[in-house]
Amino acid sequence: MTISMYQASVPVFVRMLKNLDLILDKAQGHAEAKKIAPNVLPGLRLIADMFPLSKQVQIATDHAKGAAARLAGVELPKYEDNEQTIAELKARIAKTIAFVESFKPEQIDGTEERDIAFTLGGHDLKFKGLDYLVGFALPNFYFHMVTAYNILRENGVDIGKRDFLAKH
C-alpha cells in the first residue's frame, strides 16, 4: 500500500488545524477564567527570542495553505498577519481549513516531481514536490504547531497530548 501526496498533506493539515482550533478554545476559556485580557495570550512567547503565539499560528497556517497551493500549482492566498486575539487566530485557522479542504486529490496526487520554487526570508528555495512536502512543509508546520501548544501549556492552559493529537 502506498500513501498519496494528497493523503500526506490535506487531511494532515486539516486534522491538526482543527486540533489547534480546539486548543485555542481551551486557551480562551483559561483566559476568561483567569481574567486575562484578550490580547495577552497571543503575545506570549516560549522564550524571549522566539516568535509569540500569534506568529506561531500564522506561520503554521501559512505552511498548510502554502503546501496545498504549491503542490496544486495555484496561487496562495495572502493573509494580513494582524491577528491580536484568540478569536482572530481562530478565524484565520477556519479560513485556512476551508482553503485547504477545497483541494481535491487529483489536484495534488502525482506532484512528487513537481518543481516548487519560492523565496522565503530572502532565500530562493527550490524543491521537488515530495521533498518539499516531507522535508520542508510538514516539518515546519509541526514545529510551529508544537511551539504554539508549548506556549499555551507553559502558561497554564490545561491541554495535553490528547488535545494535540485528537482525531476528528
Arithmetic mean of pLDDT, 100-111 = 98
Please give the Cα distance from 5 to 66 (Å, whole number). Answer: 14
Taking the C-alpha atoms of residue 67 and residue 17, their distance in angstroms, rounded to an integer, is 14
Average pLDDT over residues 148-168: 95
Cell of 149: 501548544
Q: pLDDT per residue over 108-153, tens digit each?
A: 999 999 999 999 999 999 999 999 999 999 999 999 999 999 999 9
Per-residue pLDDT at 143: 98
Radius of gyration of the chain, Cα coordinates, nearest whole angstrom: 16
Supply the pLDDT for residue 1. 74
Task: Give the count of beta carbons closer than 10 Å to the beta carbon of residue 72.
Answer: 20
Q: Which residue has the higher pLDDT, 168 or 24?
A: 24
CA distance 161 to 54: 21
- The enclosing H or E element of 162 equals helix 161-165
Per-residue pLDDT at 71 exceeds 90: yes
d(CA 154, CA 132): 31
Question: Could you give the CA distance from residue 4 to residue 91 in angstroms, rounded to a whole number?
Answer: 29
pLDDT, tens only, 3-56: 999 999 999 999 999 999 999 999 999 999 999 998 999 999 999 999 999 999
Measured distance CA(6)–CA(114) in Å, rounded: 14
Question: What's the pTM?
Answer: 0.97
pLDDT of residue 100: 98
Domains in the chain (CATH in brackets) are 10-165 (1.20.120.450)
